[in-house]
Amino acid sequence: MPPRLPILPAVRCCRAALETQSASSPLVSLFAALSVQTRSASILANLAENKGAHHKRIRVGRGPSSGYGKTSGRGHKGQKQHGKVAARWQGGQTPLIISHGRKGFVNLRAPEMSIVNLDRLQAWIDAGRIDPTKKITPRELIKSGIIGGSIKDGIKLLARGDSTLRTPVDIIVSRASGSAIEAVERLGGKIVTRYFTKESMRRLLVGKSVITDQPLPVGPEHVESVLEKARNGPFYYRLPDPTSREDIEYYRDPAHRGYLSPSLKPGESPSLYFKVPGETKKAFTSKAKQQEQEEEDRLF
Partner 1 sequence: MAGNGVRGLNEALRTLGLSSQTCKSQVPSLCKRSMATVASTPNITRSVAEPWQPLSTVPVTVFSFPSLEPRRVESWSTKHLHLPLRRDILHLAVVYEGDSHRQGTANSKTRYEVHGSHRKLMRQKGNGKARRGSRQSPLLRGGGKTFGPKPRDFSTSLNKKVYDLAWRTALSYRYRRGELVVAEDGLELPLPDEFLALVESGRLRGVGMEESTALEDGFVRRYMREVMQGLQWGADHGRTTFITGDRRPNLFTSLDVAGEEGRALEMEDVDVKDLLETGRIVVERGALKEMIKRHQSDLVSNIFVDGKRQKGPAIAQPLVMP
Give the interface with partner 1 as residue ranges (CB under 8 A). 1-7, 10-11, 13-14, 16-18, 21, 24-25, 27-28, 31-36, 38-44, 46-50, 53, 127-129, 131, 143-145
Is the CB of 133 or the CB of 286 nearer to partner 1? 133
Is the CB of 47 or the CB of 85 nearer to partner 1? 47
The amino acid at residue 115 is: I
Nearest to 241 by CA among 214, 269, 205: 214
Task: Give the shortest CB-174-to-partner 1 separation in angstroms.
Answer: 23
CB 171 within 8 A of CB 157: yes
CB 175 within 8 A of CB 250: yes
The amino acid at residue 123 is: A
| Distance, CA of 264 to chain centre | 33
Residues 6+ apart with CB under 8 A from 22: 29
The amino acid at residue 219 is: G
Task: Give the shortest CB-187-to-partner 1 separation in angstroms.
Answer: 22
For helices 26-36 and 8-21, give the axis angle rounded to 10 degrees: 150
Distances (CA, A) of 94 to 90, 99, 101: 8, 7, 12
Nearest to 187 by CA among 205, 169, 199: 169
Task: Give the shortest CB-143-to-partner 1 separation in angstroms.
Answer: 7
Is the CB of 40 or the CB of 163 nearer to partner 1? 40
Task: Give the shortest CB-53-to-partner 1 separation in angstroms.
Answer: 7
Is the CB of 48 or the CB of 86 nearer to partner 1? 48
Is the CB of 37 or the CB of 232 nearer to partner 1? 37
CB 95 within 8 A of CB 101: no
Is the CB of 24 or the CB of 286 nearer to partner 1? 24
Beta partners for residue 193, in sequence order: 173, 258
Task: Give the shortest CB-33-to-partner 1 separation in angstroms.
Answer: 8
CB 257 within 8 A of CB 191: yes
Task: Give the shortest CB-123-to-partner 1 separation in angstroms.
Answer: 12
Task: Give the shortest CB-13-to-partner 1 separation in angstroms.
Answer: 5
Task: Give the shortest CB-136-to-partner 1 separation in angstroms.
Answer: 14
CA separation for the pair 8, 13 (Å, rounded) = 9
Is the CB of 9 or the CB of 67 nearer to partner 1? 9
SS3 content of the chain, % helix, strand, coil (to 5): 40, 10, 55
Is the CB of 47 or the CB of 110 nearer to partner 1? 47
